[in-house]
Amino acid sequence: MVIIQKINKFLLFTIFFLTIRIGFSQEENELTPKITGNFETILQSYQIDTLIGISSEQLPDEKILSNSFLTLNYTFGKFSAGVKYEAYLNALQGYDNRYNGHGISGRFASYISDEIEITAGNFYEQFGNGLILRSFEERALGIDNSIDGMRVKYKPFSGIKLTGIIGKQRYYWEHGSGIVKGLDCEISLNQTIKKLSNKKIKILLGGGIVSKYQKNSDPVYNFPENVSAFSGRLNVSRNGFVLSSEFAYKINDPSSDNGLIFKDGNATFLNASWSKKGIGILISALRLDNMSFRSDRTASLNDLNINYLPAITKNHSYFLTSMYPFSTQANGQIGLNTEIFYTFKKNSFLGGKYGTNVNINFSVVNAIQKTKIIINPNADILNLDGYTSNPYAIGDENYYKDLNLEINKKLNKSLKFSLVYVYEDYNKYIIQGKDSSLHADIFVFDFSVKLSSKYAVRFESEYLTTNKNSQNEPVDFGNWIAGLIEFTYSPHWFITITDQYNTGNSKHDSAHYYNFFAGYTKGANRIQVGYGRQREGILCVGGICRNVPAASGFNLTLSSSF
Amino acid sequence: MKLSKQKKLQLRNNGLKTIFSFAFLIFLTSLSFSQTTNGDIPSVDIKTINNEVYNTSEINNEGPIFLSFWATWCKPCIQELSAINENYSDWQEETGFKVIAVSIDDTRSSARVAPFINGKAWEFEILLDENSMFKRAMNINNVPHSFILDKNKKIVWQHSSFSPGDENEIYEILKKLKDGNYSEDK
């Protein structure tokens, strides 16, 4: 008790002292404490809608579910602190119900100077491309694997940056059982070596190590308690040419993801682009072999991922083009993505008065070559690697393939359109764990008219068709058509009406997945109300996906930044 | 008096707490002087288009800055930047402003950004915020989200979402900033 009283006295004294100091400093150099933050809440009501398969049993017990987020950040000179509050009362359908509840989901304090940055509490961090470490937040997917612990960033010389982290990952309202430690170093040769400072060629080197510790209490298996992953990277750029490369390696890490095999994992990620005004070319390649890396060997879904394995295929933005999205296969995939961006010049034959913008993209992702190891129980040492893989070979099975063509054209001061065609092969069994492969052709026409300096209207019409199976029935849900009309009144108002309709589907009744939205935005505050049906499907951001159940009802979104 | 193990531990923890809060507060009070202000831009390490480390406190311009958060997969973001690009050289001449377009594409698509902007023939300054660190520090919920900063890097205007025609409002504010008669509460 005595100690506590002492602390209180001390606190009062220092706060008093501090206030005086702040008062003075304000006059002298305008350094004032500042509080900023952001807020977002989403409410959704649920109702029976038998046509899209929602009977009373499928309904949640609650009439309304909601997800809310509030972040407050305090900064004062080089010091900052923040707190994050989340409320899932209860979590929206499609989000893990382990989120149900409310409370402080993260807090941090940090000191940032030119040379050093120290953070205690929850933080987000990424080493290189994220192949061995990325903690991040993606609210739309219900992902927050922030690390709760300590981070130090140190820049001893110009062009050298060291980052060290230690902590445990957020796991809904708790922490994962594993401890994550990491160290990363990034060197810009142009900044560190004087001779190179004026050279056009820019060279960056980087490397990192991440180690996780999780106690093994399994009575049968002798799981490694410490698992490390390493990565090295090299980035070179000159004029319009940019090359980035990273190679990552992971030591034996048996987990429920890889079927408890002891094989080491590795990843290779290459990006090369060349561009100048009016033209851009990109080639990306990614090979993954047993690269799932979580701070708990039994975790699944999107839980406790330490690393991030990007899908290199194109991220689609329309309703029907994003119906069959690819998601990264951590256990093994080899993929290639190529893309061309081109603008036909103004006043040329194909360019017209305003120029014509074209984008062509092709990507293909296959399995890696695998040779299964057959365990010989009589051998002295059991080989538990599961398989071997030749890194220079490509597996036979195709996971995903798509070709995208997009033309953007402005006709005159008020008319603009986009035309999109997508050819897509989708291995539904591998990516979603059900049904067989399918092929889809998708067409989009997007047309917008500026009616005045404030009013505008935009139309989208989309069509998706799938191939037929041996019984001459369309695969999966068959064909879809979709449409959108959006009115906007700058800078505040919008109204959107959308519909997606499943045609040519013999399995069940077709339904209109209509939606109506209206919204008002003022500055950084936004309110949006909606009513309609949500299609059952898969929602992906950055190659990570979650399943979304069918839903019907009203929704309300409020967001604000301050 | 003999203390139990638990009690001892508790006292030790309290002791540690005191030391920490002491150090912390001393440190806080020592901050007040000898600092230059950085406007409303927090200090965050992100990347240039050539993958070099870039600290956001380096963001600078003699005139106003239009700071726009966008992504290659975000349609309205591209609409907004296209609308500004159409008038960029004229408005730049008139108001002395510049555009800094911060892409929040993660490593799935951040390598697309350079060929994408060149393919569109945009001439903005581009930064890569691959893990949304800068986005988070600026309290952004969703993209597009744009700010206008005056020459002292104070936020004078911000807006989330984009509708065709918003570029006119942006232009008006830039002009007023140039003439020195912009007030936030209009």
What is the domain partition of chain B in residue ranges? Answer: 1-34, 45-179
Q: What's the rounded Cα separation, in Å, for the pair B168 and B162?
A: 12
* A239 vs B contacts (CB less than 8 Å): none
Is A422 a domain residue?
no
Which pLDDT does position B38 carry in this prediction? 67
Instruction: Round the average pLDDT of chain B to a whole number and report it.
Output: 84
Q: Give me the domain span that covers residue A239.
A: 113-265+281-310
Number of domains in chain A: 2
Q: What's the rounded Cα separation, in Å, for the pair A258 and A292?
A: 8
Q: What's the rounded Cα separation, in Å, for the pair A468 and A463?
A: 16
What are the backbone angles phi and psi of residue A249, rounded to the nearest 5°? -135, 135
Is A346 a domain residue?
no
Residues A5 and A135 in one domain: no
Question: What CATH number has the domain spanning B45-179?
Answer: 3.40.30.10
Kindly report the nearest CA distance between residue B16 and chain A, in angstroms. 11
Which pLDDT does position A475 carry in this prediction? 84
- B11/A11 Cβ within 8 A: no
Kindly report the nearest CA distance between residue B120 and chain A, in angstroms. 6
Instruction: List the pLDDT tens digit at each of the 562 positions of chain A.
Output: 455 555 555 555 555 544 444 444 444 445 789 999 999 999 999 999 988 889 998 899 999 999 999 999 999 989 999 999 999 999 999 999 999 999 999 999 999 998 999 999 999 999 999 999 999 999 989 999 999 999 999 999 989 999 999 999 999 999 999 999 999 999 999 999 999 999 999 999 999 999 999 999 888 888 999 999 999 999 999 999 999 999 999 999 999 999 999 999 999 999 999 999 999 999 999 999 999 999 999 999 999 999 999 999 998 989 999 999 999 999 999 999 999 999 999 888 888 889 999 999 999 999 999 999 988 888 877 788 999 999 999 999 999 999 999 999 999 999 999 999 999 999 988 888 877 789 999 999 999 999 999 999 999 999 999 998 888 888 888 899 999 999 999 999 999 999 999 887 666 667 899 999 999 999 999 999 999 999 887 776 656 677 788 899 999 999 999 9
Kindly report the nearest CA distance between residue B50 and chain A, in angstroms. 6
Nearest Cβ partner for B163 among A36, A339, A494: A494
Which pLDDT does position A26 carry in this prediction? 42
Q: Is residue A202 within 8 Å of residue A190, measured between CB atoms?
A: yes
Q: What's the rounded Cα separation, in Å, for the pair A531 and A514?
A: 8
Token pair for A214: 């999780």
Residues A160 and A22 in one domain: no
Is A186 a domain residue?
yes
- B165/A456 Cβ within 8 A: yes
Mean pLDDT for B84-92 is 94
Local confidence band at B14 (pLDDT 50, 70, 90 cut-offs): low
Distances in Å between the Cα of A369 and the Cα atoms of A249, A385, A390 are 18, 15, 6
Distance of CA B65 to the CA centre of its chain: 11
Q: Is residue A206 within 8 Å of residue A232, measured between CB atoms?
A: yes
Closest Cα partner for A25 from B22, B29, B42? B29
Residues A18 and A149 in one domain: no
The amino acid present at A28, given as its one-letter code, is E
CA neighbours within 13 Å on the CB side: how many for B7?
A: 5
Reported as a single tens digit per residue, the pLDDT across B126-185 is 999 999 999 999 999 999 999 999 999 999 999 998 999 999 999 999 999 988 888 765
Burial class (CB in 10 A: 0-12, 13-18, 19+), A457: middle
B4 and chain A in contact, CB less than 8 A: no
B130 and chain A in contact, CB less than 8 A: yes
Q: Is residue A561 within 8 Å of residue B140, measured between CB atoms?
A: yes
What are the backbone angles phi and psi of residue A251, rounded to the nearest 5°? -75, 165
Which pLDDT does position A381 carry in this prediction? 78
Is A248 a domain residue?
yes
Residues A11 and A131 in one domain: no
Which pLDDT does position B13 carry in this prediction? 57
Which pLDDT does position A24 carry in this prediction? 45
- B109/A315 Cβ within 8 A: yes
Is A529 a domain residue?
no
Residues 6+ apart with CB under 8 A from A119: A108, A109, A110, A150, A151, A152
Which pLDDT does position A383 carry in this prediction? 82
Residues A137 and A237 in one domain: yes
- B35/A317 Cβ within 8 A: no
Residues A3 and A131 in one domain: no
Which pLDDT does position A433 carry in this prediction? 80
- A7/B14 Cβ within 8 A: yes
